[in-house]
Amino acid sequence: KAGVTQTPRYLIKTRGQQVTLSCSPISGHRSVSWYQQTPGQGLQFLFEYFSETQRNKGNFPGRFSGRQFSNSRSEMNVSTLELGDSALYLCASSFSGASQETQYFGPGTRLLVL
Q: Which residues bind another protein (CB under 8 A)?
A: 4, 31, 33, 35, 42-43, 45, 48, 50, 55-56, 58, 88, 90-92, 94, 97-108, 110
Q: How far apart are CA 23 and CA 89, in angstroms?
A: 10
Q: How far apart are CA 98 and CA 6, in angstroms?
A: 22
The smaller minimum CB distance to another protein, of residues 24 and 31, is found at 31
Q: How far apart are CA 98 and CA 73, in angstroms?
A: 18
The smaller minimum CB distance to another protein, of residues 42 and 62, is found at 42
We find the least distance from the C-beta atom of residue 3 to another protein, in angstroms, to be 9
We find the least distance from the C-beta atom of residue 79 to another protein, in angstroms, to be 22
- Name the residue among 44, 4, 18, 2 with its Cα closest to residue 111: 18
